[in-house]
C-alpha cells in the first residue's frame, strides 16, 4: 500500500504530526474502535505510537490528566502522553506511547492464570483505593464534596438534565428516558456503603484495560483510565464483571475487602448511569443492555437488604 493510502486511514490533520513524532514516514496503521474513541496503532521509522481519536472534544486533555494522576501513584506501566492534537476541537486526538502487553480479557484462559491475574489485579486496585487524597470526593469536573452522596447527586443531576436535551432524544426512546428519570429518584433509597472514605479510582476498571505479559501472563500494565480522581471505590467495582465475568474480579476483591450486603444494589445503580454517561460523551452503548441494567437495578432496589 502506498504511503498516501496508508495515511488516508488516519483522520485528517493527524499524519503530519505523527510523521514528526516518528521522525519519518508512516509505514503501517492498525485501527480499533472503542466506546468513546477510535484507536490507531501507527508504526514507522522503527517506532510506534497510539493515536486515540475521540468523538467529542475535551476528552483528550481529560485522559492525559488521568494518566498523569495515576502515574504519580503507580509503579505499573501506563502509556506516556506524547502530544494532544487539536485540543478542545472536533477531531481532537491524544498521542501516546505503546506499552508492552496484551489485554487480559483476550489472553487468559487457564483457570490457574486467571486466578493469579485476579489476585494481582485486585491487589493493584486495593493499593489505589487505600489512597484518600485530600479526604474529599471529587466529581469528574473536579468539584470537591465532603460526602460521596453529595458528589454523586451532583453528577446524577447533570445526567438527568442531559436526558431532557435534543441530543439525548436522538439516542434514547422516551420510555427509556422516563425509566432512567424514575430510577434517579431512587438514589436516596440506596443502602449506605460501609466504605466511607474517598479512594483513588481508575474509573474504567475491566479486564480489557489491564495488560498481561503474553509469555508469563503476569499483570504488566494498565490502559484507558476514565476520570481518575478521588471518589468512591465502588465506582471502580461497578466495571469488574462487565468484561470476562468468569475472571471473578469482583468476588476476589470483596473476599479481600468485604463490603455490606447493599453493595450489589449500588453497583447495579452506578452501572446504569455509567451507560448514560457514555452516551452523553458521544459513546456507543447497546440499548438492550441499558434496558437490562435498568431492570436489574430496579429489581435489586426492590429487595430488602439483609441485615
Q: What's the CATH number where 294 sits?
A: 3.90.1200.10
269 within 8 A of 190, measured Cβ to Cβ: yes
- pTM to 2 decimals? 0.93
Q: Domain end: 96, 121, 143, which one?
A: 96
With respect to residue 161, please indicate whether it lies within any of the assigned structural domains: yes
In a shared domain, residues 112 and 253: yes
Residue 306 banded pLDDT, cuts 50, 70, 90: low
- For residues 60-66, give the mean pLDDT: 94
Kindly indicate the confidence band of residue 36, based on its pLDDT and cuts at 50, 70 and 90: confident
- Using 50, 70 and 90 to split pLDDT, how confident is the model at 1? low
Q: How confident is the model at residue 149 (pLDDT cuts 50, 70, 90)?
A: very high
Residue 122 sits in the same domain as residue 88: no
Q: Which of 238, 226, 220, 184 is nearest to 202 (CA)?
A: 226
**Which residue in the block uniquely carries the three cell numbers 485540543?**
87
Co-location of 60 and 209 in the same domain:
no
- Residue 240 C-alpha cell reads as 469488574
pLDDT at 128: 98
Task: Supply φ then ψ for residue 198, to 5 degrees.
Answer: -65, 155
Percent of the chain with pLDDT over 70: 97
C-alpha distance from residue 175 to each of 78, 158, 278 (Å): 41, 19, 19
Q: How far are the Cα atoms of 9, 27, 138, 296 from residue 134, in angstroms, in the given order?
A: 45, 47, 10, 35
Taking 80 as the threshold, does the pLDDT of residue 160 lie above it?
yes
Q: What does pLDDT average to over the chain?
A: 93
pLDDT in tens, 185-203: 999 999 999 999 999 999 9
**Alpha-carbon separation of residue 120 from 229, 230, 249 (angstroms):** 22, 22, 10
**Whether pLDDT at 127 is above 70:** yes
CA angle 140/142/143 to nearest 5° reads: 110
Alpha-carbon gap, residue 53 to 95, rounded angstroms: 9
Distance between CA atoms of 197 and 130, rounded to whole angstroms? 9
The count of C-alpha atoms lying within 13 angstroms of the C-alpha of 170, restricted to the half-sphere facing its C-beta, is 7
Check residue 287 and give its pLDDT. 83
Last residue of a domain, one of 70, 96, 122: 96
257-275, pLDDT tens digit by residue?
A: 999 999 999 999 999 999 9
Instruction: Pick the range with the lowest mean pLDDT from 52-56, 179-183, 279-283.
Output: 279-283
User: Over the Cα atoms of the chain, what is R_g?
Assistant: 20
Within a domain: 307: no
d(CA 248, CA 240): 8
Does 77 lie in the same domain as 169? no
pLDDT surpassing 90 at residue 7? no
207-232 residue pLDDT tens? 999 999 999 999 999 999 989 999 99
| Same structural domain, 187 and 285 | yes
61 lies in which domain range?
3-96
What is the pLDDT at residue 33? 87
| pLDDT score at 117 | 98
Sign of the dihedral defined by the CA atoms of residues 117, 121, 127, 129, in that order: negative
Q: CB count, 10 Å around CB of 140?
A: 18
- Cell numbers for 228: 481518575
Mean pLDDT of 128-155: 96
**DSSP E strands, the chain:** 28-33, 37-44, 47-54, 81-85, 93-96, 102-103, 137-138, 144-145, 199-201, 210-212, 219-222, 229-231
Does residue 121 fall inside a structural domain?
yes
In the predicted model, what is the mean pLDDT of residues 242-270? 97
Determine the Cα–Cα distance for residues 3 and 194; give it in Å rounded to an integer.
57
pLDDT at 134 over 90: yes
Amino acid at each position: 500500500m502506498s504511503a498516501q493510502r496508508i495515511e488516508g486511514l488516519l483522520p485528517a490533520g493527524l499524519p503530519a504530526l505523527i510523521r514528526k513524532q516518528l521522525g519519518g514516514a508512516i509505514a503501517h496503521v492498525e485501527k480499533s474502535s472503542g466506546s468513546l474513541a477510535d484507536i490507531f496503532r501507527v508504526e514507522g521509522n522503527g517506532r510506534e505510537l497510539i493515536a486515540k481519536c475521540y468523538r467529542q472534544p475535551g476528552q483528550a486533555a481529560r485522559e492525559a490528566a488521568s494518566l498523569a494522576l495515576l502515574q504519580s501513584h503507580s509503579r505499573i506501566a501506563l502509556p506516556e502522553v506524547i502530544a494532544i492534537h487539536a485540543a478542545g476541537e472536533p477531531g481532537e486526538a491524544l498521542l501516546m506511547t505503546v506499552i508492552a502487553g496484551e489485554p487480559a480479557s483476550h489472553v487468559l484462559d487457564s483457570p490457574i492464570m486467571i486466578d493469579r491475574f485476579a489476585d494481582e489485579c485486585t491487589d493493584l486496585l486495593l493499593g489505589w483505593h487505600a489512597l484518600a487524597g485530600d479526604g474529599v470526593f471529587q466529581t469528574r469536573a473536579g468539584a470537591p464534596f465532603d460526602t460521596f452522596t453529595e458528589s454523586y447527586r451532583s453528577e446524577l443531576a447533570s445526567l438527568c438534565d442531559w436526558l431532557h436535551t435534543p441530543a439525548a432524544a436522538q439516542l434514547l426512546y422516551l420510555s427509556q428516558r422516563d425509566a432512567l428519570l424514575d430510577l434517579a429518584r431512587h438514589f436516596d433509597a440506596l443502602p449506605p456503603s460501609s466504605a466511607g472514605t474517598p479512594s483513588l479510582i481508575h474509573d474504567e476498571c475491566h479486564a480489557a484495560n489491564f495488560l498481561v505479559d503474553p509469555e508469563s501472563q503476569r499483570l504488566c500494565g494498565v490502559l484507558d483510565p476514565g476520570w481518575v480522581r478521588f471518589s468512591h471505590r465502588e465506582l471502580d467495582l461497578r466495571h469488574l464483571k462487565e468484561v470476562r465475568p468468569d475472571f471473578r474480579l469482583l468476588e476476589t476483591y470483596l473476599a479481600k475487602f468485604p463490603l455490606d450486603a447493599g453493595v450489589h444494589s449500588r453497583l447495579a445503580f452506578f452501572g446504569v448511569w455509567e451507560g448514560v454517561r457514555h452516551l452523553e460523551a458521544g459513546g456507543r452503548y447497546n440499548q438492550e443492555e441499558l434496558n437490562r441494567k435498568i431492570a436489574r437495578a430496579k429489581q435489586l432496589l426492590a429487595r430488602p437488604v439483609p441485615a
